Structures are given as structure tokens and as C-alpha cells.
Structure 1
């Protein structure tokens, strides 16, 4: 797989840059809203990372399901609420420990990066209730190292030194 294949998916799926890193496009959203709060029942996006891209450590207030679509396998790095670190490998090579879908539990801190030597990974992510930026929290290395010093190596790889500006 080469960089042109990543560009193919970015162009044909009309993906745009995501603030946490990588590229995305909302692919589905529910027409239903949760009664207690006016919001979508679920949302789903395509998400693409290229070689060198990182989906930086962040947290959501809802569970998020990840589904593998194309390209190289993807590592989903998760720091669970109890402080334990897990690397889930999203892909289709089951003999090498990959799985075609991964659940990231609500309130876990997580990010993703390419697992292998490929040039891109295209996945889908579904959140219920539907994604809202008010439920999205990015972290700096300093913030995470204060609470999880035992995970310094992965935090320095997956967290921003300084948070980017985004709308």
C-alpha cells in the first residue's frame, strides 16, 4: 500500500483533517434524538491515518466502536479509567492478534497510530449517543504524565505537547 492509496480514500470519501490528527468524515447520523437531551442517538465517521499521523490522546463521554475497513492495521492505545494501558490492534489478520472491531469504553483516554509498515489505515468509528465536541477532551503530555507516569513512553508518543487551536 502506498501514499497514493491513502490520497485515493481521502479524495473519494471527501475526508477532512481532524483536530486530533488524521482525516475523517461523518458517514451516518441518527435522525432520532435522545429524549432527555436534544442530541443524536448515534453518529458514525470514516477515519483515516497516514504514515506519521497520530490520533492524539483524547477522551469521550460515550463508548466508541471502531471498525476496520482498509489499509494497514491500526493500534488503538487505551488508558482505562483504572489506569491500565491496553493496545488493541484493529485489522483482519486474526492470527497476529488483530480484531476487526474494537470497543473503547467511555471515559477511557485513547488515541491511535498505524501498527505496521503500511502507508494508511481506513476505519469507521461509531459513538452513541452521537458525537458532540462538548464531550471531546484532548490532553497534553504534562497533564497525562501527572496522572499516569508509568505510561510515559506511550504518552510522549500519543499526546500533544501543546494543544492545537480548533473550532
Structure 2
């Protein structure tokens, strides 16, 4: 198997910069709809994160399933609706607690990061009901620290100081 770099994957999959951090490209969009939500049944993207970058804390109004594809394992940092923090490890090293799939429940605040230097992680993310930008919320450190002061360390690592323009 040929080993691709992050830049190879970005080029091959035609990935673009994402407002939360990292790179993405939509891969699938359902043709079926969920009428009561005015959304398609599901959407799916490729998402690539390089070491040194973070996918900043954000929230969706739908469940999101993450699937590991290539590179290094990834930490998905989740603040659940009840305020509990969880670090889910996405990868293939089962002996170290990694899982090849991770669920982020709707309305959770979450982001992702890599711990291995000089690496990247390529994952797939499926949102059901389907993703729409109007359901996407990014957060500042100040906003999150007001509601979750007990998670200050991870909030300062994973949330923007000021939102990008």
C-alpha cells in the first residue's frame, strides 16, 4: 500500500479549508428527505486534520458518526448536553482504547485533535439528518467557560479566542 501525505489526500480528494479547522469535502448527500426536519436523510464528508491543527469546538443539531480512514489516531473531544466531558479516541489500535467509529450525539459541543506530531488523520463524518450550515455553531472560549468552567483546560485548547471572519 502506498503511503500518502496529508497534502496528497488534500489534493486527491479536493479538500477545502473548513471554518472549524482542518480540511473537508462533501462525499455523499442523501436523495431522501426527513420532512419534519426539512433536511435530507444524511450527508457525509471526508475530513482531514493535520498535527498542530485543531477542529475547534462546535455544535450540530444532528448526530454525527465519525469513521477512521487513514493516518494517525484522532481524539474527539465532546462536552455532552449534561456537561460531562469525554475524549473518544478514533483509530484502529483497539488495545489502546481506540475505536474505528465514534458517535457525537446531537447538541453536544465537540472538536478534534491529534497527539502525534508530523502526522494527519483522514476520517469520514456522516450527519443524520443531513448537515446544513444553519445548524452549525462555533464557540469562543469566553462563551464556553461561562457554562463549563470545570473544563477550562480543554476549552482553552479547543475553542477559538475570537471567531474567524
TM-score range, shorter chain: over 0.9
1:151, distance to aligned residue in structure 2 (A): 0.5
Q: Structure 1-normalised TM-score? A: 0.94
Q: Paired residue for 1:107?
A: 107
Cα distance in structure 1, aligned partners of 2:116 and 2:51: 9
CA offset digits 1:40-59 (Å, max 9, x no partner): 11000000001111000000
1:118, distance to aligned residue in structure 2 (A): 4.7
Cα distance in structure 1, aligned partners of 2:32 and 2:74: 31
Q: Paired residue for 1:5?
A: 5
Q: Paired residue for 1:121?
A: 121
Cα distance in structure 2, aligned partners of 1:36 and 1:83: 28
Q: Aligned ranges for residues 7-156 of structure 1 at < 5 Å?
A: 7-156=7-156
Between 4-13 and 123-132, report the one with greater CA deviation: 4-13
Report if aligned partners of 2:29, 2:40 keep a CA contact under 8 Å in 1: yes
Q: Which blocks of at least 5 consecutive residues in structure 1 are unaligned?
A: none
Q: Structure 2-normalised TM-score? A: 0.95
Q: Which blocks of at least 5 consecutive residues in structure 2 are unaligned?
A: none
For 2:110, what is the secondary structure of its paired residue?
Answer: strand
For 1:123, what is the secondary structure of its paired residue?
Answer: strand
**When the two structures are aligned, how many residues end up with a matched partner?**
162
1:102, distance to aligned residue in structure 2 (A): 0.2
Report if aligned partners of 1:72, 1:118 keep a CA contact under 8 Å in 2: no
Report if aligned partners of 2:77, 2:85 keep a CA contact under 8 Å in 1: yes
For 1:36, what is the secondary structure of its paired residue?
Answer: helix
CA offset digits 1:9-37 (Å, max 9, x no partner): 00000000000000000000101112235
